[in-house]
Amino acid sequence: MREKLLALAALQKVDLEIAALKKSAQTYPQQLGELEKELGAARSATDAEKAKLAETERQKSTLEQTIVDEKDKVKKWEARLTEQRSTREYSALAREIDIAKKGNLTMAEELVELGKSLNQVRETTKVKETEFIGRQQSLSEKMGELKAKLQEVEGQVKGLEVKREEAAKSVDAQLLRRYDVVRKKRMPALASLVPPGTCLGCRLNVPPQLYNTLRTNLGFDVCPSCQRIIYAAEALEASAPAK
């Protein structure tokens, strides 16, 4: 009987190690997701600044071309002034030329302000890109460390799973089936009883008669409260006789 308990206790020890490793790694995927989200946000901020820069450059280029086109139009109109046959036509065209020149002056002022804005956007974009490169490097390092830890844990778990298969071979088949049923619901599935008959799994007391029986025969039973496999602590003591 003691050999069965020892084999099951050895199996549970491996299972608890596996559970502890998996629990320690539970936060890694979440942390990776948060880092990826943070990196994505930093990239989006940089991309937004680049888009703003591209749009400002487009506006400046468009305004420059418009000014060139308007100046060409004024030159053509000025060349046509001498061709006007009446004072009325001359005055009308001259007025159009004056309006166009004033419009060009306004656009030239806008171009100056747009140039200033463009310089500011370029500087901001440069800063954002530099910050992003640094942030990307930092976050990538952290992500690499987490992935390495996750791979390490996965490797350890695989190793323990092989160890578990070997340990399970030494456990009584019927007892193993019972153990597997319990461990899928709660761990530890195997729990000892300590005076005055307290199950260390659920911390509730078993009936005194059951406790006394397990202390006497050094066997195992099922906890009436939590359904764990229970045994008296004396059953696994080094000095306990095999049964």
pLDDT reported for residue 82: 82
pLDDT reported for residue 144: 92
Residues 6+ apart with CB under 8 A from 150: 25, 28, 29, 32
Q: Which domain holds residue 122?
A: 17-168
One domain for residues 159 and 218:
no
11 belongs to a structural domain: no
pLDDT reported for residue 239: 41
206 belongs to a structural domain: yes
243 belongs to a structural domain: no
pLDDT reported for residue 89: 87
One domain for residues 178 and 146:
no
9 belongs to a structural domain: no
One domain for residues 211 and 156:
no
Listed residues 124, 149, 168: the one ending a domain:
168
pLDDT 10s digits, 147-161 = 999 999 999 999 999
CA distance 198 to 205: 4
| Residue bearing tokens 């030239």 | 108
CA distance 101 to 166: 93
pLDDT reported for residue 237: 77
What total number of domains does the chain contain? 2
CA distance 184 to 187: 8
196 belongs to a structural domain: yes
One domain for residues 36 and 23:
yes
222 belongs to a structural domain: yes
125 belongs to a structural domain: yes
Listed residues 168, 197, 214: the one ending a domain:
168
The DSSP letter of residue 233 is G
- pTM (whole model) above 0.85: no
- CATH number, domain at 24? 1.10.287.1490
pLDDT reported for residue 240: 46
What is the average pLDDT score of the chain? Answer: 91
CA distance 140 to 159: 28
One domain for residues 138 and 179:
no
Cα 49 to the chain's mean position, in Å?
A: 25
Lookup: tokens for 223 = 């906890």
One domain for residues 75 and 136:
yes
One domain for residues 98 and 58:
yes
pLDDT reported for residue 120: 94
One domain for residues 65 and 159:
yes
pLDDT 10s digits, 183-204 = 999 999 999 999 999 999 999 9
Listed residues 133, 168, 203: the one ending a domain:
168
One domain for residues 185 and 130:
no
One domain for residues 188 and 226:
yes
AA identity, residue 84 = Q
One domain for residues 161 and 104:
yes
One domain for residues 152 and 80:
yes
**Longest pairwise C-alpha distance within the chain:** 132
CA distance 72 to 78: 10
Three-state SS at 77? helix
CA distance 4 to 45: 63
CA distance 236 to 243: 11
The list of the chain residues with pLDDT below 50 reads 239-243
